[in-house]
Amino acid sequence: MLPAGGKLEQARKTRDPRFDGRFFIGVRTTGIYCRPVCPVKMPREENVTFFDSAAAASEAGYRPCLRCRPESSPGTPAWRGSSTTVVRALRLINDGALDQGSVARLCDRLGVTPRHLSRLFTNHLGASPKTIAQTRRLQFAKKLIDETSLLMTEIALSSGYGSIRRFNDHFKQTYSRSPSSLRKTRSEPVERVELKIPFREPYDFQSLLEFYRMRAIPGVEKVGVETVGVETVGVETVGVEKAGRENAEESYGRSFVLDGKSGHFSVSRSDNQLVCAVQGGSTSSLMRIMQKVRAMFDVDAVPEEINSVLCEDRILGRLVKKRPGLRLPGAFDEFEIAVRAIVGQQVSVKGATTVMGRIAEQYGDETDYGRVFPGPETLADMDPESLPMPSKRARAIKLLAVAVADGELGFDMDEQAFYEQVIAIPGIGPWTAQYICLRALSNPDSFLHGDLVIRKVAEKILGVRSEKELINRAKAWQPWSGYAGMHLWRASAD
């Protein structure tokens, strides 16, 4: 529960969209919790309570508003908390750790006791891990009910419920009605699912597309006119998607294999939200796909918080004001990004992209929806001499693949332990490890102070003449120094 009055009360009364998803309003007279932008008649100040998250409101006994749909609000960044354990736990919960597993097993993976984890979650999020997981499942299910015509059984499985009975019971307990009673469209089997992903303005979608475009993998990735379907070719596609619309829009798309099933998704922008269209794949992997897309496009970021810190640096602030909606590019396939980081050592972006294309062509699999980049099990068995790169770098890729395939290295590890383990692999230096943390772990404070482009731009724009001086300058940008790095990269491109 958050303190009443002050800035939150002002945001509630003005229905300020900047606060959408950053707190929720419980109305004691109705037992309902809403978003700050809810259009219903405004309750009196003495009848409202503020909550840090939807899960906290749910744990306090409030049920979601059917008018403003809390499940449709922009997400809350996991990195807002100061506890690295909470950040890692949230990442594991988003990956489905509590859909079938227990809190005790989650604690074993984190190396903490259930009591300690519960205390951390209460302090940072106002709700228990179990409530966070349940709210996550229920919100995604409600979203599928409102935005798709999927069968209820498919919705239950997609949302992480083990059975349709558990899904119905949880839904009735929360909404006091059955899931089917809220459906406006008829349930039917579908081949393509479209889901809306809201974000906070400003949002520089075009810069993200340009970043991905420069790294499009030749032979696997395609840039240009794209039609989603079985004719699609490529792991990633950044270009113009024509899906029966008169005015084509630029979009990002890629084929994938999750839970043993291949598929394809594309992401385009429509006003103040992204639209993600998924075709193929497993029903049970739909929520994981959405989580990965959210990370790729950094939709949970809060520009107001980030920019206020970066603009304290007067010179850097000029770059921020030029592109206030700049976001961090994430990763759909963390292992692929780790390989990309190794390939990109001391070569140009174009050169690294060419090599990635050759690796995908030689070791990747062709599916009904396009080619996919090889996984760690495949590259663990490869001959390093077969890769078109220096042997030391090729061996580093093989050692990384072996570590990931054997479970010795995981992208859900504690970041410090992950960094130390990665940098211990022969052929991997600080720049490579930092790049992996920035994109694969989505750490907004990972700053590539050794990057040649960043150092050159920092010298020209900021007047910073050494790497040590740049590191000291970047301390003022914490915890958003990763965004500062993106502004410097972008300044070089501009």
**Which are the catalytic amino acids?**
34, 451
Give the residue carrying structure tokens 């052929």. 427
Give the residue carrying structure tokens 């009848």. 47
The pairing of beta strand 192-198 with beta strand 225-226:
unpaired
State how far the Cα of 166 lies from the Cα of 157, in Å rounded to an integer: 11
Alpha helices in 176-285 (DSSP H): 205-214
For residue 292, give Cα distances in angstroms to 74, 91, 116, 257, 454. 15, 11, 28, 13, 27
Give the residue carrying structure tokens 């699609």. 232
Give the residue carrying structure tokens 């061996």. 395
Give the residue carrying structure tokens 């993976």. 109
Residues 6+ apart with CB under 8 A from 3: 50
What is the distance, to the nearest Å, from the Cα of residue 25 to the centroid of all Cα atoms in its chain? 25
Per-residue tokens: 291: 């989580």
State how far the Cα of 108 lies from the Cα of 103, in Å rounded to an integer: 9
State how far the Cα of 73 lies from the Cα of 199, in Å rounded to an integer: 8
State how far the Cα of 288 lies from the Cα of 422, in Å rounded to an integer: 25
Answer for the pair 412, 91: CB distance below 8 angstroms, yes or no. yes
Query: 453: buried, middle or exposed (CB in 10 Å: 19+, 13-18, 0-12)?
Result: middle
Answer for the pair 431, 446: CB distance below 8 angstroms, yes or no. no
DSSP state of 44: P
State how far the Cα of 80 lies from the Cα of 142, in Å rounded to an integer: 25
